[in-house]
Amino acid sequence: MKRRVYDAAVQGNKILLLDLLGEDAVLLDRFITGRYPETPLHVASMLGHLEFVDEVIARKPELAKELDSHKSSPLHLASAKGYLQVAKKLLQVDPDMCLVWDIDGRNPLHIAAMKGHLDLLKELVQARPWAARVVMEQGETILHACVRCNQLEALKLLVGRASDHEFLNCKNHEGNTILHLAIAAKQTEAINFLISSTSIDVNCENDDGYTALDLLSQNQKDMIDKQIAESLCKIGATHAKENPLSSSQLKAIRTKILLSTWDQPNAVSKPKKRKHGKRLAHSNKNADWLERKRNILMLVASLLAAMAFQAGVNPPSGVWQDNGPSGFSTTESNGKNHTAGLSVLADNHPRAYTSFLICNTTGFLASLSIILLLISGLPLRRRFFMWFLMVIMWVAITAMALAYIGCLVALTPDHSYSSLITILGIATLVWIGLMLILLLGHTIRLVFRLIKYLRRLVMRLVNLISPRPRV
């Protein structure tokens, strides 16, 4: 029976599958409870049989989470072959399968990028963006994999959607960035893209102390290296080694960079694994931080928007229930009439109502802006955008607090007014103090980052104006 269901998976024969399930209703369950090198879903996903995959998932979605003898999920196999529709079906079951490593320490996004399946890679990045930031077991990022496999379009896609300055300049076990790899492999298009369209650090040194410029030949006859060196020098690249490398040394170093631990993930030494573990933990921690912030911001923004909407349609003091003269009493109408359904506060305290309306509307719009940005699909996965959204959240919370204060002032009778002013004064001072502490902390952090960035910029300009003489 199991042999026949494997044959059905190879053929993609949905009718045969249904016949077999008619004979044995728990046939698919046996592949979950037993131990098999692979499931029929693995076979169908690898061969791109969409209808068969759809039928298996509909009856037994748990099979999408099963791993074969190489620790590959069906999504790994569909990603390797580039079957977009099959991958979409599998993602509907559990998008978190994007985070699962196979025996080589690669998740489906790594495999799709290495194979150059751009449409499928876009789908995977959209499903779980932070999966692209997970470092592979070999200590390299998905960007390293794109350069090693010469997948320039995949590299451009990932740099635009799932990368920031820190991740872009991440090093592998040997301390090589993607620029070191691109130069070692003489990938001219990738090098030009990195130095012209990204914030790659051109003066970053690997563990052997070589910068990108050190890996280029000093021989004027090598036109490719000469052109790359000129482009690097224009943006402030410098040599780390005073003595240029000979042709034989340069060839040996480039070979070492290209033939590192890529094909031997299990041959990494213990110190390197420890170093990689820290880097991986940092990457995962950063991705988790961003995801937690997104979730918290969405939750708080939704609550604030609901509060502001409720306060707007049901303002303080309520609404008039009938038509009649306005004022604090029927004998003190000031010659005005009120209309049923309109705000009582707007008639009795027009200035307080205007202040409430301004604060409440500001909080409502700020909350809606956060929700709109988070669900818009824009690449808001960098820390800068998270801080920007948090600033908008501060505005929303402050506006709601001011609306609350305005309501209390308008609704408090005269004999309790002094107590209210005292309480609000203390609360306001505490609030202002807390906001100033937060603002000061973030300002100091921003100033330090700005100083660090300006120092790097000045050093590049100095090197550009007066480059280090070559020996």
Instruction: Give the C-alpha distances (Å, rounded to integers) separating 166 from 133, 284, 449.
Output: 11, 13, 13
* Cβ 159 vs Cβ 199: under 8 Å: no
Residue 110 corresponds to which tokens in the numbers above?
């790594």
pLDDT attached to residue 262: 56
pLDDT attached to residue 243: 74
DSSP H helical ranges for 349-471: 350-375, 383-411, 417-465
Residue 11 corresponds to which tokens in the numbers above?
């053929």
Domains of the chain, by residue range, sit at 1-134, 166-268, 283-465
pLDDT attached to residue 280: 44
Average pLDDT over residues 231-259: 81
Residue 213 has pLDDT above 50, yes or no: yes
pLDDT attached to residue 288: 54
Confidence of residue 60 (pLDDT cuts 50, 70, 90): very high
Residue 146 has pLDDT above 70, yes or no: yes
List pLDDT tens digits, range 85-128.
999 999 999 999 999 999 988 999 999 999 999 999 999 999 99
* Residues 4, 321: Cα–Cα separation, whole Å: 75
Residue 276 corresponds to which tokens in the numbers above?
């990689």
- 3-state DSSP assignment of residue 355: helix
275 or 185, higher pLDDT: 185
Per CATH, is 166-268 categorized as 2.60.40.10?
no
What is the distance in angstroms between the CA of the first residue and the CA of the last residue of the chain?
75
Residue 277 has pLDDT above 70, yes or no: no
Residue 40 has phi, psi (to 5 degrees) of -60, -30
Closest listed residue to residue 121, CA positions, set 93, 175, 83, 147: 83
Residue 330 has pLDDT above 70, yes or no: no
Confidence of residue 331 (pLDDT cuts 50, 70, 90): very low
pLDDT attached to residue 14: 92
pLDDT attached to residue 379: 55
The DSSP H or E segment spanning 234 is helix 223-234
CATH no. of 1-134: 1.25.40.20
Q: Which of 7-11, 38-42, 121-125, 256-260 has the lowest mean pLDDT?
A: 256-260
* Cβ 204 vs Cβ 169: under 8 Å: yes
Confidence of residue 318 (pLDDT cuts 50, 70, 90): confident
Residue 274 has pLDDT above 60, yes or no: no
Q: Which of 219-228, 294-303, 343-352, 361-370 has the lowest mean pLDDT?
A: 219-228
pLDDT attached to residue 278: 45
Residue 251 has pLDDT above 90, yes or no: no
Written as one string, the DSSP assignment of 296-313 is: HHHHHHHHHHHHHHHHHH
* Cβ 463 vs Cβ 455: under 8 Å: no
Q: Which of 57-66, 146-155, 413-422 has the lowest mean pLDDT?
A: 413-422
Q: What is the mean pLDDT of the chain?
A: 81
* Residues 8, 36: Cα–Cα separation, whole Å: 17
If one counts every other C-beta atom within 10 angstroms of the C-beta of residue 465, the result is 8
Confidence of residue 46 (pLDDT cuts 50, 70, 90): very high
Same fold: 1-134 with 166-268: yes
pLDDT attached to residue 39: 93
Residue 268 has pLDDT above 50, yes or no: no
Q: What percent of the chain is predicted at pLDDT more than 90?
A: 28
pLDDT attached to residue 142: 94
Q: If you average pLDDT over each of 17-31, 232-246, 256-270, 328-342, which comes out highest?
A: 17-31
List pLDDT tens digits, range 339-360.
777 888 887 778 888 888 898 8
Confidence of residue 271 (pLDDT cuts 50, 70, 90): very low
**Residue tagged 């005269």 (tokens):** 414
pLDDT attached to residue 327: 53
pLDDT attached to residue 286: 52
Average pLDDT over residues 142-168: 89
